[in-house]
Amino acid sequence: MDSRHFLQTALVFLLATVIAVPLTKRFRLGSVLGYLLAGIVIGPQELRLISDTAGVATISEFGVVLMLFVIGLELSPQRLWVMRKQVFGTGLLQVLATSLVIGAAAYYLFGLTVNAATIVGGSLALSSTAFGLQILAERKEAGTSYGRQAFAVLLFQDLAAIPLIAAVPLLASASTKHGFDAFAVGRTVAAIVAVMVGGRYLLRPIFRFVAKVDNVEVSTATALLVVMGTAWLMELVGVSATLGAFLAGVLLADSEYRHELESHLEPFKGLLLGLFFISVGMSMDLTLLIQQPMRVALLVLFLLLIKGALLWPLGRIVGGLSGRDALRLAVLLACGGEFAFVLLKLAGEQNLITTEQHGLQVLAITLSMALTPLMVTLLGRLLYQAKTKKEREFDTIVADKPRVIIAGYGRMGQIVARMLRAQGIPFVALDHSVEQIDLVQRFGNWTDIFYGDPARPELLRAAQADQAAVFVLAVDDPEASLRTARVVRRMYPSLKIIARARNRQHAWRLMDLGVELPVRETLYSSLKMTRQTLEALGMSPEMAADHVERFRRQDAELLKRQYLVYDDDARIVQTTREALVDLEQLFQADASPEAARALEKPTDATANDEDVTR
Q: Which of 305, 319, 308 has its CA nearest to residue 146? A: 319
Question: CA nearest 479: which of 433, 434, 510?
Answer: 510
330 close to 151: Cβ distance less than 8 angstroms: no
- Average pLDDT for 596-600: 49
Residue 218: what are its φ and ψ, rounded to 5°? -70, -40
466: DSSP letter: G
Pairwise CA distance, residues 458 & 468, whole Å: 15
- Percent helix, strand and coil across the chain, each to the nearest 5: 75, 5, 25
Query: Is the pLDDT higher at 602 or at 318?
Result: 318
Local structure of residue 239 (DSSP, 8 states)? S
The answer to whether residues 402 and 421 touch, using CB atoms and an 8 Å cutoff, is no
Those residues whose C-beta lies under 8 Å from the C-beta of residue 40, and which sit 6 or more positions away, are 46, 281, 282, 284, 286
The 3 state secondary structure assigned to 343-368 is: HHHHHHHCCCCCHHHHHHHHHHHHHH
Q: For 145-188, how does the pLDDT look when each residue is reduced to its tens digit (9 = 90+)? A: 888 888 889 888 888 887 888 788 778 776 555 455 566 667 77
Question: How many other β-carbons are positioned within 10 Å of the β-carbon of residue 73?
Answer: 23
- Cα–Cα distance, 227 to 457 (Å, whole number): 63
Answer yes or no: are the C-beta atoms of 539 and 599 closer than 8 Å.
yes
Of 50-64, 326-340, 479-493, 565-579, the range with the lowest mean pLDDT is: 50-64
> In this prediction, what percent of the chain has a pLDDT beyond 90?
22
pLDDT tens digits along 522-575: 899 999 999 999 999 999 999 999 999 999 998 888 888 888 887 777 888 888
Distance CA 301, CA 281 (A): 21
Strand partners, 404: 427, 470
Phi/psi of residue 431, each to 5°? -145, 140
Handedness of CA 162, 164, 169, 173 (dihedral sign): positive
CA dist 257 → 68, 77, 86 (Å):
17, 16, 28
Lowest-pLDDT range, 131-135, 153-157, 291-295, 335-339? Answer: 131-135
Query: What's phi and psi for 367, nearest 5 deg?
Result: -65, -35
Sign of dihedral through CA atoms 170, 173, 176, 178? negative
pLDDT tens digit string along 38-69?
888 888 777 888 776 666 767 777 777 777 77
What is the identity of the amino acid at 556?
A: A
Rounded CA gap, 227 and 70, in Å?
10
Contact status, residue 72 vs residue 248, Cβ threshold 8 Å: yes
In angstroms, the CA 469 to CA 478 distance is 23
Q: Determine the pLDDT at residue 590.
A: 62
C-beta of residue 497 within 8 angstroms of C-beta of residue 515: yes
Q: Residue 432: which H helix or E strand, with range?
A: none
pLDDT of residue 4: 63
The pLDDT assigned to 605 comes to 40
Global pTM? 0.59
Residues 6+ away with beta carbon under 8 Å from 160: 91, 95, 122, 125, 126
pLDDT for the residue 415: 92
- Residue 388 pLDDT: 45
C-alpha–C-alpha distance, residues 258 and 79, integer Å: 14
CA gap 334, 126 in Å, rounded: 9
Which one is predicted more confidently, 544 or 72?
544
User: Is the Cβ–Cβ distance between 169 and 238 less than 8 Å?
Assistant: yes
Confidence band for 581, pLDDT divided at 50, 70 and 90: confident
Q: Which amino acid belongs to residue 108?
A: Y
For residue range 371-411, list pLDDT tens digits in order. 888 888 888 888 766 654 445 566 666 667 889 999 999 88
First to last CA, the chain: 67
